[in-house]
Amino acid sequence: MDLVESYREGIRFVRKPLQRALLGALLLALLALPLWGPASWLNRASLVWLTAIGVVGQNLLIGYAGLISFGQAGFLAIGAYAFAHLRIAGLPFLLALAAAGGAAGVAGWLVGFPSLRLKGPYLAIATLAGQFIIEWIINHVTFISGGVQASIEVARPRLFGMVLDSQRDMYYFLLFFVVLATIGTMNLVRSRVGRAFIAIRDQDIAAEIIGINIFRYKLLAFAISSFYAGATGVLYTYFLGIANYEQFQLGVSVDYLAMIIIGGLGSVQGSIFGAFFITLLPIVIRRTMEAFGGVFFEPQTVLNLIPNLRVMLFGGLIIFFLIVEPNGLARLWQITKEKLRLWPFPH
Amino acid sequence: MKRTALAIAALALTAALPAAAQKEQFVPANFYWVGPYAPGGSGFGGGIIDYMQLLNERDGGINGVKLTWEKCETEYNNARGVECYERSKKKGPTGATVIHPLSTGITYSLIEKATADKIPVISMGYGRTSAADGRVFPYVFPLITTYWSQATVMVKFMGQRLGGMDKLKGKKIVLVYHDSAYGKEPIPVLTDMSKQYGYEFTAIAVPHPGNEQQSQWLQIRQIKPDYVILWGWGVMNPTALKAAAKIGYPTSKIIGVWWSGAEEDVIPAGAAAKGYISAGFNAPGSDFPVMKDIQKFVYGKGKGEFEDKSRFGSIYHTRGVVAGIVTTEAIRVAQAKFGKGKPITGEQMRWGIEHLNIDDKRLKELGAVGLMPPLKVSCMDHEGSGLVKFQQWDGVRWKVITDWMEPDRKLVRAKVEQDAAQYAKEKNITPRDCASEG
């Protein structure tokens, strides 16, 4: 029923016409969101795209290559500051984006060196150190932080002579990058590089025996994932209008990790699910509590509960997914699809 | 059937009503009620909402225009702060009147956006100091006083205690600061002043969050400074006071910044905090007439923001009330110019803030004498006052120990204009000509 008949078919993203149609419809709906969705959605959606790019990158490292890192936020910061300086120096946007991503990539490559000797939690601690070192350097070297308040302002993006200043522009701008990142990553994980990552994750000694240069690929995983982080930092800078290291502290790395766990380790889809889910969770909580909270609590209590509920649910969900479904939302989605395919005649 | 139709019609009518009743002024309440900085966010937010509630309950709003607000949790996080801003900017009949970001990071993120959207940003006691130059930052108001003004008043206060500014010569002053952009803010000003007055200045960093300060205070024991300035945040403050007590450094020689001078900063330190002095641009207390009115008209009706009544009249609470006064007085000024009893737009609000003049007489009418300093804002000067008071912790409550003290305006203004000019150059902004503005 779901047989793949040729290698060409095997490496295709979308195999079935129905899938293709649905994916097309989804893309169209996203493209048309500014037409049908309320204005406040645009901003929230922009935030989802931003996060998704970073999470996809981190999933490459953690989910695919199996290298646990807590340093992602540091690379975001490097991307953001490098970009701010390059823009002020007058570099055009795309060049500055590539260069800032590259700078973060190089930093990631350096931080990746301990990964050659360390594994699991030990590596996580080493990357944690990387995070703090990066933060400290940015905070203390005024040449980088730009002086007062360690914030550098960046002008609105300008593409092909157009200034992107409305929320709608920002939405399309980020949507473009998230599609680019998704397609890029899906291609990457199907390539030799992606398979090498998976082989290293599953059993690094076996991978070495079949001829994968572990040294090279581990560092490559760090570099690529940091490049994504750097690019996210750049886009964040545009979104906020400033590069500010306080925006990229340990909490962000942990949030991203949580999104990967909830979305699904080693899945591009899962990364996007996770970003989507966690970013939208506060809205769902607020709406639900505003609608039904009054039944159980005083209105004042409801208002005080809403922000705390997010934190509680966040922790609860991570534990839930780790125990019940370590492969996250992506796996749940797959199960649903399989069930639906057989429905309504399961036997 | 008929009854259902009637009910539907009635429902439709009530739904249509708010749209017809446009006499509302929307002020976003984008603060933080969770996370490590929640005491500041919820206290300040509670104060501003309590004051707006008071105007609604006691006076029926401002000239009949009811104040409305909506809470949005920023978590002290830039991205969420911007999101709250985007969500709130179009609410109400005239959009957001003014934003209090209550975070320097969020303030920075909003400077350009809010200026483009014509929504004023008020950053009371935080934010970008150089925004005090209203020619370059037309929509940003670091009202009442800034970090730089405060640093100069601190030095003045020490001089006064020593018996004259000339006595500062040869004295030793140590700055213990939160190792972040915020903490480093006073260093240039204090360094400049050390050259002017001849004191020996040492800055000692405490890494975030600041719950480990033994080595820093051992260093202080070696230096034996005459005064220590504490520029802390959150848990760093009580830890510093406890560490000082451990090395036997007298608390009355420690002078804190206004974010180190709340009840939440001293109570956890217990007896070690007794005698500690901090700066402030608002006084705590529940005896001011305005606070009594809030007690009567808001809390008396069960509409107050705090469930924990001990927070009523705390330093963060009254700081929020001051923010409420500043905000609503500016609305009043704008209404007087653009139409009494009508909601104003953000652009009109900016005019209102720039023409704000809360003098002693007005403070008396508001029942806020001593709660906040007199304030006079102009196109040139978006700070409006610069005055600072000092308070001392007596183990139970903060006691105000000085009158309002003047900053070194010349030094601060020169630095402000220099930084603003730099910003204007980078951003290609032509500063406004204040002489031509009415």
Residue with tokens 């700055």: B175
- Picking from B45, B29, B27, B139, the residue whose alpha carbon sits closest to that of residue B92 is B27
**pLDDT tens by residue, B22-71:** 789 999 999 998 777 888 899 999 999 999 999 999 999 999 999 999 98
DSSP type of residue A228: H
Higher pLDDT, B325 or A114: B325
For position A261, which CATH number holds?
1.10.3470
Residues B395/B378, Cβ–Cβ less than 8 Å: no
**Alpha-helical segments (H) within A150-267:** 167-190, 192-202, 204-209, 214-240, 250-263
How many CB atoms lie under 10 A from the CB of residue A326?
11
Q: Is residue B168 domain-shared with residue B275, that is, in the same domain?
A: yes
Q: Is residue B267 domain-shared with residue B221, that is, in the same domain?
A: yes
Rounded Cα distance, B55 and B63, in Å: 10
Rounded Cα distance, B50 and B269, in Å: 29
Across chain B, mean pLDDT equals 90
Q: Does residue A299 have a cis peptide bond before it, meaning omega lies within 30 degrees of 0?
A: no
Rounded Cα distance, B211 and B233, in Å: 11
In a domain, A18, yes or no: no
How many CB atoms lie under 10 A from the CB of residue A80?
31
Position B337 confidence tier, pLDDT thresholds 50, 70, 90: very high
Query: Distance from first CA to last CA of chain A, Å, rounded?
Result: 14
- CB-side exposure of A56: number of CA atoms within 13 Å? 29
CB of A336 within 8 Å of any CB in chain B? no
Q: Is residue B270 domain-shared with residue B301, that is, in the same domain?
A: no
Q: Is the pLDDT of residue B20 over 70?
A: no
Strand, coil or helix: B24: strand
- B10 CB contacts (<8 Å, ≥6 apart)? none
Residues B214/B186, Cβ–Cβ less than 8 Å: no
In a domain, A17, yes or no: no
Q: Is residue B65 domain-shared with residue B198, that is, in the same domain?
A: no
Nearest-by-Cβ selection for B179 from A88, A139, A240: A139
Position B312 confidence tier, pLDDT thresholds 50, 70, 90: very high
Interface test with B, best of A53, A240, A249, A302 (most B CBs within 10 A): A240
DSSP type of residue B116: H
- What residue type is A275 in one-letter code? A
In a domain, A277, yes or no: yes
**Are B116 and A165 a contacting pair at CB < 8 A?**
yes
Outline where DSSP puts E strands in B142-263.
172-178, 200-206, 227-231, 254-256
Position B317 confidence tier, pLDDT thresholds 50, 70, 90: very high
Q: Kindly provide the b/e burial profile for residues B339-358, where b requires at least 16 CB atoms within 10 angstroms of the residue's own CB.
A: eeebbbbbbbbbbbbbbbeb
- Picking from B1, B120, B133, the residue whose alpha carbon sits closest to that of residue B414 is B133
Inter-CA distances, A29 with A5, A35, B34, Å = 32, 9, 35
Interface test with A, best of B107, B184, B308, B422 (most A CBs within 10 A): B184
In a domain, B8, yes or no: no
Q: Is the pLDDT of residue A308 over 80?
A: no
Rounded Cα distance, A235 and A177, in Å: 9
In a domain, B244, yes or no: yes
Q: What is the torsional sign of CA A159, A165, A166, A168? A: positive
Rounded Cα distance, A334 and B427, in Å: 50
pLDDT at B14: 47
Residue with tokens 């120990």: B401
Q: Is residue B162 domain-shared with residue B272, that is, in the same domain?
A: yes
Looking at chain B, the whole-number percentage of residues with pLDDT higher than 70 is: 95
In a domain, B14, yes or no: no
In a domain, A175, yes or no: yes
**pLDDT tens by residue, B118-143:** 999 999 999 889 999 999 999 999 99
**Are B108 and A304 a contacting pair at CB < 8 A?**
no
Residue A243: closest C-alpha in chain B: B109
Rounded Cα distance, A138 and A74, in Å: 10
Q: Is residue B166 domain-shared with residue B76, that is, in the same domain?
A: no
How many CB atoms lie under 10 A from the CB of residue A137?
16
Q: Given the DSSP bridges, would you call strands B24-26 and B66-68 parallel, antiparallel or unpaired? A: parallel
Q: Does residue B28 have a cis peptide bond before it, meaning omega lies within 30 degrees of 0?
A: no
Task: Over range A27-41, report the average pLDDT.
Answer: 82
Q: Does residue B209 have a cis peptide bond before it, meaning omega lies within 30 degrees of 0?
A: yes
Per CB-CB distance under 8 Å, the chain A contacts of B130 are 148
Rounded Cα distance, A79 and A75, in Å: 6
Q: Is residue B238 domain-shared with residue B169, that is, in the same domain?
A: yes
Q: Is residue B172 domain-shared with residue B132, that is, in the same domain?
A: no
Higher pLDDT, B145 or A166: B145
In a domain, A13, yes or no: no
Inter-CA distances, B278 with B150, B253, B265, B368, Å = 11, 10, 11, 21
Nearest-by-Cβ selection for B83 from A47, A150, A247: A47
In a domain, B270, yes or no: yes
**Are A44 and B129 a contacting pair at CB < 8 A?**
no
Rounded Cα distance, B257 and A105, in Å: 40
Counted domains in chain B: 2
In a domain, A214, yes or no: yes
Q: Is residue B188 domain-shared with residue B128, that is, in the same domain?
A: no
**Alpha-helical segments (H) within A119-163:** 120-140, 142-145
Across chain A, mean pLDDT equals 86
Residue with tokens 């092909």: A160
In a domain, A10, yes or no: no
For position B239, which CATH number holds?
3.40.50.2300
Q: Is residue B173 domain-shared with residue B251, that is, in the same domain?
A: yes
In a domain, B4, yes or no: no
**pLDDT tens by residue, B258-292:** 999 999 999 999 999 999 999 999 999 999 999 99
In a domain, B16, yes or no: no
Lowest average pLDDT, out of A52-61, A267-276, A305-314, B239-248, goes to A305-314
Higher pLDDT, B411 or A34: B411
Interface test with B, best of A44, A171, A242 (most B CBs within 10 A): A242
| Angle, helices A39-59/B78-88, rounded to nearest 10 degrees | 160
Q: Is the pTM of this model over 0.80?
A: yes
**Are A149 and B113 a contacting pair at CB < 8 A?**
no
Residue with tokens 């300035």: B229
**Are A149 and B182 a contacting pair at CB < 8 A?**
yes
**Are B129 and A148 a contacting pair at CB < 8 A?**
yes
Rounded Cα distance, A229 and A308, in Å: 29
Counted domains in chain A: 1
In a domain, B403, yes or no: yes
**pLDDT tens by residue, A313-330:** 888 988 898 888 888 888
A172–chain B nearest CA distance, Å: 17
CB of A156 within 8 Å of any CB in chain B? yes
Q: Is residue B308 domain-shared with residue B274, that is, in the same domain?
A: no
Strand, coil or helix: B59: helix
Higher pLDDT, A143 or B339: B339
Per CB-CB distance under 8 Å, the chain B contacts of A242 are 78, 105, 108-109
Torsion angle, alpha carbons of B162, B164, B167, B173, to 10: 60
Domain residues for the domain of B209 are 148-280+391-407
Interface test with B, best of A136, A148, A311 (most B CBs within 10 A): A148
**pLDDT tens by residue, B56-109:** 999 999 999 999 999 888 888 888 898 889 889 988 999 999 999 998 889 988
Strand, coil or helix: B169: coil
In a domain, A100, yes or no: yes
In a domain, B384, yes or no: no
How would you class B28 by CB atoms within 10 Å of its CB: exposed for 0-12, middle for 13-18, buried for 19 or more?
A: buried
Q: Is residue B291 domain-shared with residue B428, that is, in the same domain?
A: yes
Rounded Cα distance, B397 and B271, in Å: 12
Domain residues for the domain of A49 are 39-342
Which tokens is A27 given?
């893309």
Nearest-by-Cβ selection for B105 from A47, A239, A247: A247
- B225 CB contacts (<8 Å, ≥6 apart)? B172, B173, B174, B202, B253
Residue A40: closest C-alpha in chain B: B87
